[in-house]
Structure 1
Amino acid sequence: MSPMPALQPQPDPEQEALDWFSRLRQPGCDDTLRQAFAHWCQDPLNARAYAQLEAYWQQLQVPTARPRPRVAKARRSRSGLYLGLLFLMLLATLAWLFWPHMQRLASELHTGSGERRSVRLADGSTLHLDSASAINVDLRDRTRRLHLVQGQISLEVMLDGRALEVQVDDARIQVFGTRLQITRYSDHDELLVLSGKAAVLQGGDQRMVSAGERVTFTDSHINPVEKIDSKAADAWRSGRLQANQRPLAEVLERLAAYQGQRVWLLDEEAGHRRVSGNFDLDHPLLSLEQLARDQQLRLYNVLGQGLIVR
C-alpha cells in the first residue's frame, strides 16, 4: 500500500495579514517587500483579511487633538453606560417580579393567583393551599418531608407511625399534632398550631408551639410564642382574611397575593402599623382599595405583577 501524501497546510489569510502588517512597519521595508505584498493582495481573501486588520487598527488609534469630537465621544460613551445600567435594572426588576411565578410552576403542588385548593396526600393527610402557594412533597421514607416554597398551607396530618417534617428555607418544623398552618411572608415565616404540637428548629435554636399558639421566625432567629384566635386564623379557607392587630405589611402582602402581585411598601414605618378588619379574599382589589383609603395610602400597579404602596 503506497503511503498517503502529507497534508499541505492550509493558508491562513488572517495570520498572513498580521505578518504583513508587522513586516511593512519595520524600518527595513523596501520596494521588493512592497511588491511581494502587492502580489499577495491579488488574492481576494488576502486583500479582505488585510483590509479588516487595517480597519481594526484605525479604530484603536488615538484621534488627533480635536476637543469637540472627543467630547461627543465621551458623551456617547456615557449615554451607553447609562443605557446599559438601565437595561440591567430592568432585567433585575422583571426577574424579581416573575421569579415567584416560575418557582410555583417548578413545584410539585401549586396554586395560581386567587386559587384555593385542597389535596388528599398518599398517606391520608389533607393539604389546603392558599392563593399563589407552592409545595413539594416526599412521603416515601420513614420521615415524611414537605418543603413549603411560597405562600400558605393548612395541613391536617394523618398519623401513621412515621415522623413528619416541613422544611421552610433553613428552618425545620417537626409535627407532633394533627392541624397546623404555615405561612411565608417576604421577610419572615409563621407557624400556627390549631391542634396538637409542633417544634420549629432554626440552627441551634428551637421553639415548641402548642394548640392555639403561633410563632414567627426568620433565617437568623425564632421569635417568642404568642396566643392566637384559631377561628380567625383558619378563615381564609372560606374566602375571608380576618386580621386582628396584624402588621399592615402582612395584610397588604396577603391581599396582593390574591392578585398575583408582590408588594413594594415605600414607607417602612407604615408597614408596622397594626390593623384589624375582615377582608374579602375573593375580591382582593376592592379590599386593597378600602384598606388604602383607611390608611391614607396610594397604590400603583406595576405590569400587573407588582404593587407599589406609598
Structure 2
Amino acid sequence: MTDRAHTGLPSTVKEAIDWMVFLDSGNAQPSDKSAFERWLGADPGHRQAWESLNHALSSPFNQVAQAEREAPGSAGAATRVLRSSGISLERRRLLRNGSALMLLLGLSSTLVLQRRMPLDSLFSDVSTGTGERKHITLSDGSQLTLNARTTVDINFSTDLRRVRLKHGELSIQVAADPSRPLEVWTDQGSVRALGTRFSVRQTDQFSLVGVQQHSVQVRTLSGQHVVITDGHALRFSDTALFPLPDDSSRLDAWVNGLLEVEDESLGAVIEALRPYRYGLIRVSTAAARLRVFGVFPLDHSDRALQSLAQVLPISVSRFGPVTLIDVP
C-alpha cells in the first residue's frame, strides 16, 4: 500500500530541517529556542531526526570547505546558481546568513558540493550514493540492483513481497514464489512481477518500467492497469499509462555502467548523468531540446560530456562544482 504521505522525506526530517535553518538564521528568540526544546522532547522520533540530520550534515559542511580550498570561487559559483534555481523567497532570504547558506548547500537535492548520499537514505532500508551501483541478494533469493542515488524500502511478509522505490532506479531478477507475489511500488502505482526480470525508474512526476524477461502488471494509483511483456516499456502517472517504443533492452544498460541513447533529448541524457556527478549541471532550454544518439559511460561522466560536446552544437563550461551547458 502506498500514498502521498510516504513520498519524499519523512515529516519529522522536514520539521528538523526547518528548525535547523530557523535556529541558525540569527532571528530565533529565547521563546523560539524553548519551543524547539519542547518539539525535541515531544516525540522520540523528533530527537532521532535531529541527531541523524546533524550527523548527515557534518560531511557536507567539510566537503564544501574542502571544495572551496581546492577550487577557489566554487562556493561563490554555487551561490549564484542557487539564487537563480527556483528556491523559495523565504529560503533565499536566509542566504544573507553565511551559515544558513552552508546549510542549504548541504541539504539541497539539486546543489550539493561533493554530495555523497541522498538525505532520505538515512531512513531507507537500502540505498546508494552518487556514482555508486549496488547488487543485493534479497531474503527470497531475488537479485536486486540499485542505480546511483537510489533509495529503497523492503517489506516481505507471509503473503506478499514488496519493494518500495522511493527515489532513483532499480533492476530486479525475481525468484519464483507463487504464494508471495513480488511488487515494486512507486509514487504513481505498482509493478507486479509475472515473470523474472524488469527495471523501474522513479522520476518527479512519472514512473518508468521496462521488461527484460517475461511480463509484469502495472497498476496506477487510480486503478488503471495493463500487462506488458519482455522487450516493452511503459511510462505511467497516477492516472494514465503511456506505452514507449518496443525495444526496452537499453533501459537497464546502466546495470553495466552504460547509458544507451537512441533519439533522446539532451535534457533526458543529462538527467541520467546527474546521479553520477557530485556537482550541479544546468542545461539551457535550447540545449535540452537537442536530440542524442549513442552509448556513453556512466562511470566517466566528464568523458560523456566531452563526447556530447564533440557531436552536438553545445558549449560545456565548468565553474568549480557547477557545469553549464548551452548552445553558443
Q: TM-score, normalised by structure 2?
A: 0.61
Provide structure 1 residue ranges, at least 5 long, that are not aligned to the other structure: 1-80
In 1, the alpha carbon distance for the partners of 2:151 and 2:297 equals: 22
In 1, the alpha carbon distance for the partners of 2:91 and 2:204 equals: 30
State the partner residue of 1:147.
164
1:273 is aligned to 2:290: yes
Relative to structure 1, is the Cα distance of residues 106 and 263 closer, same or farther in structure 2, using a 3 angstrom cutoff? farther
- The correspondence of residues 214-233 of structure 1 with structure 2, limited to 5 A, is 214-230=233-249, 232-233=250-251
State the partner residue of 1:288.
305
Provide structure 2 residue ranges, at least 5 long, that are not aligned to the other structure: 1-89
Deviation string for 1:253-291 (max 9, x for gaps)? 112211145544331x54343311111122111112321
Shift of 1:144: 0.8
Relative to structure 1, is the Cα distance of residues 251 and 83 closer, same or farther in structure 2, using a 3 angstrom cutoff? closer
1:180 is aligned to 2:198: yes
Q: Is the 8 A contact 2:233 2:248 kept in 1?
A: no
Shift of 1:189: 2.3
In 2, the alpha carbon distance for the partners of 1:237 and 1:82 equals: 37
In 1, the alpha carbon distance for the partners of 2:136 and 2:177 equals: 18
- The correspondence of residues 9-158 of structure 1 with structure 2, limited to 5 A, is 84=93, 86-87=95-96, 94-97=107-110, 101-158=118-175
Q: TM-score, normalised by structure 1?
A: 0.64
Greater Rg over alpha carbons, structure: 1
Q: Secondary structure at the match of 1:151?
A: strand
Question: Which consecutive aligned stretches of 4+ in structure 1 deviate over 6 angstroms post-superposition?
Answer: none
Q: Which amino acid aligns with 1:123?
A: D
Superposition CA RMSD, Å: 3.0
Relative to structure 1, is the Cα distance of residues 301 and 185 closer, same or farther in structure 2, using a 3 angstrom cutoff? farther
1:250 is aligned to 2:268: yes
Shift of 1:151: 1.6
In 2, the alpha carbon distance for the partners of 1:102 and 1:152 equals: 16
What is the identity percentage for the equivalent residue pairs of Structure 1 and Structure 2? 27
In 1, the alpha carbon distance for the partners of 2:292 and 2:92 equals: 42
Q: Secondary structure at the match of 2:130?
A: coil
Q: Is the 8 A contact 1:144 1:165 kept in 2?
A: yes
